[in-house]
Amino acid sequence: MGFRLRARRWLGATVRRTRRYLDEVATVGPDDEYARRFHHFGRGAALIAPQGVIYNERYLSIGEGAMIGPGVCLTAGIGPDQQMLTTPVVRIGRRCVIGRGSHIIGHWSIELGDEIQTGPYVYITDQNHSYEDPDQPIGWQTPVEAAVRIGAGSWLGANVVILPGTELGEHTTVAAGAVVRGRFPGHVVLGGVPARVLRHYDPARGWVAGAPS
Query: 186: closest CA among 205, 209, 202, 163?
Result: 202
Which residue of the set 103, 107, 129, 187 is catalytic?
129
- Identify the CATH homologous superfamily for domain 28-209: Hexapeptide repeat proteins (2.160.10.10)
pLDDT tens digit sequence for 126-159: 999 899 999 999 989 989 999 999 999 999 999 9
User: What is the pLDDT at residue 167?
Assistant: 98
- DSSP secondary-structure letter at 27? -
For residue 171, indicate whether it is catalytic: no
pLDDT band at 1 (very low <50, low <70, confident <90, very high): low
* pTM for the whole structure: 0.92
Percentage above 70 pLDDT, the chain? 100
Mean pLDDT of the chain: 95
| DSSP letter assigned to residue 15 | H
State yes or no: pLDDT of 103 exceeds 70: yes
Model pLDDT for residues 3-48, shown as the tens digit of each residue: 788 888 888 899 999 989 988 999 999 999 999 999 999 999 999 9
Average pLDDT score over residue span 187-191: 97
Return the percentage of the chain with pLDDT > 90, whole number: 83
Tell me, rounded to whole angstroms, the distance of Cα 53 from its chain centroid.
12
